[in-house]
Chain A
Amino acid sequence: MTMWERLRNPCGWRAGAKQISVDAMIPIFAVPTLALIAAQTVLCTVIIFVATPILVYYLHHNFLRFLLRTKFFLMWTITSVVMLMLIFEVNVVPLLEILLEENIVFIMCVVGGIWCGYMTRSNADSVTQEGTLTQGLELGEGSGELCITCRRRAPPKAHHCRIHAFLIENIIVNGSSNLRWYLGCLFFSAIAFIYGSNLTITSVCHPFILIGTVLLPDDCSDVYHQLDIALCFISALYSLLVGLVIVCYLIYHLWLIYLGTTSNERRLLEAGSPCDHGMLKNVSRLFCCKT
């Protein structure tokens, strides 16, 4: 491994350099560029926020889904999180309006979310790699089927979870510790996104206190006068939207657990799940014991 290769891909310090594919490189440039364009005027913001999901869907529908295990969505997530954190710490905090305690809570939620997300991924990887063995132990049935979405060998009662905006592109195994990490990731990232969004938007906008406790903005008319303030505003909007989507997913998954099924099963067979043990037992099975 030459130095050049290492530089080209610092993650390959041990594993050796890997070529980063083009589809994974797109978000690194696209996300900051889109943010900068959106920060120009109100109209730009509206256009970008409407056009980006359509564009990404188009890209996915026409190109990405033909690639084997594309890293596009993962890179989009990482770039977005890094960008939002940078804007928050470098732009919003120096406005001297956010307390140290608030920042500590925020950073803890971010770290918690990232940690849980990382654990979900690594668990998913280990589960798929150890494939049959794990299944045999945990579920006691035959070999896994090929996942249609990512073409990996997945154990039964696992499903592929594609969340387009923030994208923990992943395999979720119900009943295993993986789902717990996944839900933890959703929970922490939802708090981090919404809380961070609220902190930012009340810093750059004109706030008022709702019922003596919560600060909310009531006038954001002058955010576009300065580019850095506009960027803060855009990042707040973006993280609010992402946060709301995550909350929806969280509720959806909790509801599925409540019903005792996974979303793939729900899609495939509308009838009752074979693993239904009753609502309470399903919930307790997830959080208390593995078997």
Chain B
Amino acid sequence: MRSIVNILKIFVAFCYDYARGLSYTIITILILGYCLHPARFPSHYTYIKTEDIYDEMERSYPARDNSCMITINPRRSSQLLYPEEHPREHPVAMARRLGILPGGQWKPLNCHPLFNVAIILPYRNRQTQLTIFMNYIHPFLQAQNLDYRIFVIEQSPVREFNRAKLFNVGYAEATKMNDFHCFIFQDIDLIPQNPDNIYACTKMPRHMSSSVNTFRYNLPYSGLFGGAIALTRKQFERVNGFSNVFYGWGGEDDDFYSRLQSKGLQVTRFGPDIAQYYMLIHNKEPPSSARFENLENSAKRYDTDGISNLEYRVLNHQLRPLYSWILADV
């Protein structure tokens, strides 16, 4: 008994003598462990290598002798493009200069395009951004020799903004007009900076905006699927489109990601040296409070909520010089 007490005493004395050093060490390790914990940082994601991009693209038309070339030149990634903040050219003049058909349609005339793309942009009350975007995107897309058409889906001013449902409306309206093979769903404030970022579909759904300047050109988390995405019509129909219930900011992209996961569709991305985006400056919106609730029971609604139960009214539509405009009540 006594010896045990003695040993205890020695132990306590030892601890007391070294308590300071010991506690400092433990605290240092804990602090460093917290500060450098990998979960607190954006992830380095896996991406399609630059040389494999051409093979990974899902062509809309079979390749022919006079098919258009797509050139991917990784050397030029250091020269990022920036949009003109105050475009002066009138849309009509621009459409005439670039040979754009009414409704924002264009296809290359001197070669057969490989890709047939509908670009869907949800919109409300961002006139200056729309002008900047249109002024920038047409030359960008023409340089890639795409057969494309741009749709701007504007939501009527009654309810909260529903980005996901506007995408579904865009899909439905575009399909009525033409048999588009590939859909690109994109926010209007995102400007692709690299000409190598091909605006067409890959064999798997692609998250295009993986390297946005407001995230310091990093991908915050690997489950992010917002901003700009590219899917073929088949892929979009297989997951039943977007959910219709996400009114307000946030949540719909995470929901769409889990839809893709549930159907076994793996998300691909281009590398950070290709997929750079520039976000136009605007005020941030407060996130919607219902988004977590909607996300929680999203799995039950995969088959019932989407393009299968899409209901909307087209209030107005116009073929404007640089895009097809559709005003919808959702």
Chain B residue at minimum C-beta to C-beta distance from A225:
B284
Given contacts A89-B35, A207-B214, contact A99 B42 (CB under 8 A): yes
Answer whether residue A255 sits at the interface, using C-beta atoms and an 8 A cutoff.
no
> Is A104 part of the contact surface with B, judged by Cβ < 8 Å?
yes
Q: How far is the CA of A215 from the CA of B211 in the complex (A)?
A: 13
Encode contact with A along B251-286: 1 for CB under 8 Å, 0 otherwise: 000000000000000000000000000110101100
Residue from B82, B213, B283 having most chain A Cβ neighbours under 10 A: B213
A203: which B residues are within 8 A, CB to CB?
216
Across the interface, name the chain B residue whose C-beta is closest to A101: B41
Q: Which residue of A lies closest to B77 (CB)?
A: A212
Bound CA span A222–B283, Å: 7
In the assembly, what is the distance between CA of A96 and CA of B19, in Å? 36
Task: Say if the beta carbon of B248 comes within 8 Å of chain A.
Answer: no
Task: Place the interface of chain A in its size category.
Answer: 20 to 34
Query: Once bound together, how far apart are the Cα atoms of A94 and B79, in whole Å?
Result: 30
Q: Which of A93, A98, A208 contacts B213 (CB 8 A)?
A: A208
Answer whether residue B40 sits at the interface, using C-beta atoms and an 8 A cutoff: yes
* CB pair A103 B35 closer than 8 Å: yes
Known: A206-B281, A209-B80. A100 touches B36 (CB 8 A): yes
Complex CA gap A212/B80 in Å reads 8
Report the tally of A-B residue pairs with Cβ distances under 8 A. Answer: 65
Q: Once bound together, how far apart are the Cα atoms of A97 and B281, in whole Å?
A: 18
Q: Which residue in A97, A104, A225 is a CB contact (below 8 Å) of B36?
A: A104
State whether the Cβ of A130 lies closer than 8 Å to any Cβ in chain B.
no
Residue of A nearest to B286 (CB): A225
Task: Report B-chain residues with C-beta under 8 Å of the C-beta of A13.
Answer: 19-20
Scoring B38, B41, B279, B281 by chain A CB atoms within 10 A of each residue's CB, the highest score goes to: B41
22 residue pairs A–B, Cβ–Cβ below 8 Å: A14-B20, A89-B34, A93-B35, A96-B42, A96-B218, A97-B42, A97-B218, A98-B218, A99-B218, A100-B36, A103-B35, A103-B36, A107-B32, A107-B35, A206-B279, A207-B214, A207-B216, A208-B213, A209-B80, A209-B217, A212-B79, A222-B284
